[in-house]
Structure 1
Amino acid sequence: MKPSLAKGTRDFTSLEVSRRKYIINILQKNFELFGFQPLETPSFENLSTLTGKYGEEGDRLIFKILNSSINEAKDDKKTQMLNDFQKALDKPFSSESLTDKALRYDLTVPFARFVAMNHGKLTFPYKRYQIQPVWRADRPQKGRFREFYQCDADVVGSESLLQEVDLVQLYLKSFAELKVSVTIHINNRKILSGLAEYAGITDKLIDFTVALDKLDKIGKDGVVKELLEREISQESIDKLDFLFNQSDDALENLLQLKEKFAGNEIGLKGVEELEYVITQSLNLGVDIQNLVFDITLARGLDYYTGAIFEVKADEAQMGSIGGGGRYDNLTEVFGVKNVPGIGISFGLDRIYLVMEELNLFPEEATSNVEFLFANFGGEETLEALKLIIRLREKGISAELYPENAKIGKQFTYAEKKGIKNLVFLGEEELKNGTVTFKNLEAGEQKTVSLEEFLG
């Protein structure tokens, strides 16, 4: 059988792994600079933990795990389970006889489950970061995979809007160090609720936000068509037409909303919160060009209750490379009330693709061996190994070519592996206490004393 990869998954070469580690190291450093502590959760959760948290469309993308007990069941029970499975093939299924576990869809819901289980032991506000893979049964395409990494930072136990302001700083600092120019799009779910009330479609809030969230993919006409399909009247859609014609001035757009939201309590609350976050960010030196009020930003996850973020690269067509928001009620579904939270995520895989496209990876993002020692056999090999040990003790990467092969073959190995220097420690060098090495990038060869070589 010819080997193949499952759709939506990838192997990573040594170069790719090194570059991914480069991104992760910058994010991890900044997470810790901002006071976040690490956490890891299992790759799969109880299905009941995940379902009902992501909205109708999100729930469809959860990878469910078929119960292993189907193979252990008695014949009549197995027949029933297989019949259930056959019926379920054409539609999403949740029968506990078939599945009660699922791969995690994101890191936020497992985090909320962790907080609910451990809230008596945690110090609030509790700030955690998490860098782990997640899985979605989505259709693979550029920048969208079925297995991918999320790099999350969340704060729970605080309603302060200063958390939103701080997370804006975390985004901008991290992307500045990665040299990726970005724009942070920001909105507030209370504003979206206010818009639904303004248009008389409060009972259709989820349908409204799910359709609006697709604006950048299907355009205005596509959104209008979907709203109509979701039984939202043309009259309501006409009242919302101003959404598609916003100015570039965030504060001016908020001022216009205030007028439309006269007497609309939840809408005005959203405007007030967003105005505070934007104003304080500007007071801290954020460029207004980097922080955009996007009234059409919806983020189709049901658990958001306040500010919502989406980060887009300015110089690459990649969709969002980060996102998040406030979720003040998420732990309630696990029986723990009054634990407000907010979090953001960095999309490692998409950030990688943007940096690759824009050629932003520095040379230090590649972990190449510094020195390859040519193998001459006999005493020279033993002395080379002794010298390699001394280099490694200094934190310098070095290896010995394993066989006493023709020197041309050893050259080829070094070049293909991207090793910077080929070292010759032969009979002449041992006698004179010297080392000869050739820089394969510059093509220059030097003979220096052993002491000079070791620095």
Structure 2
Amino acid sequence: MASKPSIPKGTRDFSPTEVAKRHYIIQIIKNNFEKFGFQPIETPSFENSETLMGKYGEEGDRLIFKILNSGEYLAKANATHLENKDSTKLTASISEKALRYDLTVPFARYVVQHQNEIEFPFKRYQIQPVWRADRPQKGRFREFFQCDADVVGSKSLWQEVELVQLYDTVFSALGLEGVTIKINNRKILSGIADVIGASDKLIDFTVALDKLDKIGEEGVKKEMMEKGISAAAILKVQPLFHFTGTISEKISQLSVLLAESEEGMKGVEELRFICDNVMKLGLSNSTLDLDVTLARGLNYYTGAIFEVAPPKAVAMGSIGGGGRYDDLTGIFGLKNMSGVGISFGLDRIYLVIEELNLFPETVTATSKALFINYGDAEAFYGLQAIQKLRAAGIKVELYPDNAKVAKQFQHADKRGIPFAVIAGEQEIASDTFVLKNLISGEQRTVDFESLKQDLLRS
């Protein structure tokens, strides 16, 4: 007996309804990407391993799905590494390709590879799946879509201002209110580490600080001390554990804290420019918040850092993020190519909208009408009308089999199709149709033009 089929953990099948809802979100994001001047590109689902490895830090490298070489891959494996069961070193000799971990590094590779064909500044968007060998949990999958928008070839901070507006515009179009767009700056984190004498432990310091909302003040202090950050340094950073007030007040506090750090003050001025202009231009449904504990993507972010939190009514992680990278393409040999970008987490956004019941009913609308099949002659008559209705933009279909009428009505009911069109010998002779409302039970005989108009209005 064959075993029941299954799919890998962290992946999902999508029903027609789920696909329709996902396409609804993607279309809104895509429309606004293009409205803001971004152009689409696509890159392969897998890259050469050397393109991806070492770009996301040690933890990121562990989460990259490696692809075994084709053919007798073990024949080319390093015998010593194989005998010693050294998986890390062995992988390099049996796997030369890997599934993409995100869309940013492949984009950097694309820019370098096609630099002579690109007009800079280059504004691109990309909506494709990525893969991570992560532990699956709510809102976190091993295969998921990212929706990215990036600008390369410009250091202008107006790009950051526009990206905040883009976030707000998309979430407004999706009907999501109460979204918080968090912002920080890598230079501020570097400045803080410098001021407290922990520059050599920047990553350890920021990774611990980033966990403040998860493990609390004492937990962060404990982790910092375990990483070798002194008690004196932690005392200097104490104000960050209770960092409150308006954005202007927070920036003023940072100006005092970072007065002795040139790098830190650059970050303060960049934040002031972005936040002041965003607030002057205004946001529709989102809130901008300065969060000094935000420390995502430190391996390549150099300026502004973004993270988007969903409405507080939903228990969910971030639904978007991004930042400024001054030399990401440098990893592929193209220096001084500054960029900034943001990403929308499609899967998490879907879960948030679903939980808040914000999907419009029209998103999952199926065919308007089902033509009942009484036989070949009736089916052909129906298909002639169906052809013209579809040309008018109306979704209609013919039941394929000459089955019992009750079964055909039952099929329409299960599919959520609101109308049935009945055409037997009498209707064919008079060139008419019977349009039946399957919800009210009401039916009437109509000519084709009336049938079309009734379905268009429904």
Post-superposition offset of 1:371: 1.2
Aligned equivalents of 1:291, 1:106: Cα separation in 2: 25
Post-superposition offset of 1:287: 6.7
Q: Percent identity?
A: 59
Corresponding residue for residue 425 of structure 1 = 423
1:247-326 correspondence runs (5 A): 247-286=244-283, 290-314=287-311, 315-326=313-324
1:153 aligns with one of 149, 156, 160 = 149
Corresponding residue for residue 198 of structure 2 = 201
1:19-418 correspondence runs (5 A): 19-71=21-73, 73=75, 82-83=82-83, 86-88=85-87, 92=88, 95-181=91-177, 182-286=179-283, 290-314=287-311, 315-418=313-416
Post-superposition offset of 1:289: 6.7
1:429-444 correspondence runs (5 A): 429-444=427-442
Corresponding residue for residue 456 of structure 2 = none
Report if the CA contact (8 A) 1:63-1:103 is conserved: yes
User: In the alignment, residue 197 of structure 2 is paired with which amino acid?
Assistant: G
For each residue in 1:102-123, what CA deviation from the matched residue of structure 2 results, as whole angstroms up to 9, or x when unmatched?
A: 1111000000011111112211
User: In the alignment, residue 194 of structure 1 is paired with which amino acid?
Assistant: G
* SS of match in other structure, 1:399: strand
For each residue in 1:415-441, what CA deviation from the matched residue of structure 2 results, as whole angstroms up to 9, or x when unmatched?
A: 112222111112232233322122334
Report if the CA contact (8 A) 1:193-1:266 is conserved: yes
1:412–1:330 Cα change, 3 Å: same
User: In the alignment, residue 389 of structure 2 is paired with which amino acid?
Assistant: L
**Structure 1 stretch displaced more, 420-429 or 167-176:** 420-429
Report if the CA contact (8 A) 1:326-1:343 is conserved: yes
User: In the alignment, residue 220 of structure 2 is paired with which amino acid?
Assistant: V
Report if the CA contact (8 A) 2:172-2:285 is conserved: no
Aligned equivalents of 1:344, 1:94: Cα separation in 2: 35
Report if the CA contact (8 A) 1:213-1:300 is conserved: no
Post-superposition offset of 1:272: 0.3
1:167–1:30 Cα change, 3 Å: same
**Structure 1 stretch displaced more, 257-266 or 443-452:** 443-452
User: In the alignment, residue 333 of structure 1 is paired with which amino acid?
Assistant: I
Post-superposition offset of 1:238: 2.1
Aligned equivalents of 1:453, 1:288: Cα separation in 2: 42
Aligned equivalents of 2:127, 2:345: Cα separation in 1: 10
Q: TM-score, normalised by structure 1?
A: 0.94
Report if the CA contact (8 A) 1:27-1:174 is conserved: yes
**Structure 1 stretch displaced more, 431-440 or 157-166:** 431-440
User: In the alignment, residue 83 of structure 2 is paired with which amino acid?
Assistant: N
Aligned equivalents of 2:382, 2:212: Cα separation in 1: 63
1:60–1:217 Cα change, 3 Å: farther
Report if the CA contact (8 A) 2:147-2:343 is conserved: yes
Report if the CA contact (8 A) 1:331-1:337 is conserved: yes
User: In the alignment, residue 365 of structure 1 is paired with which amino acid?
Assistant: V
For each residue in 1:129-177, what CA deviation from the matched residue of structure 2 results, as whole angstroms up to 9, or x when unmatched?
A: 0000001111100000000000000000000000000001110000000
Report if the CA contact (8 A) 1:374-1:407 is conserved: yes
Aligned equivalents of 2:373, 2:70: Cα separation in 1: 53
1:382–1:286 Cα change, 3 Å: closer
1:160–1:357 Cα change, 3 Å: same
Report if the CA contact (8 A) 2:78-2:90 is conserved: no
Corresponding residue for residue 11 of structure 1 = 13
Q: TM-score, normalised by structure 2?
A: 0.94
Post-superposition offset of 1:80: 5.2
Report if the CA contact (8 A) 2:197-2:233 is conserved: yes
What's the Cα RMSD here? 1.8
Report if the CA contact (8 A) 2:168-2:286 is conserved: no
Report if the CA contact (8 A) 2:131-2:142 is conserved: yes
* SS of match in other structure, 2:308: strand
* SS of match in other structure, 2:54: coil
Report if the CA contact (8 A) 2:181-2:287 is conserved: yes
1:410–1:94 Cα change, 3 Å: same
Report if the CA contact (8 A) 1:20-1:352 is conserved: yes
Report if the CA contact (8 A) 1:210-1:300 is conserved: no
Kindly indicate whether residue 450 of structure 2 is the aligned counterpart of residue 452 of structure 1: yes
- Long gaps (5+) in structure 2: 454-458
- Long gaps (5+) in structure 1: none
Report if the CA contact (8 A) 1:70-1:98 is conserved: no
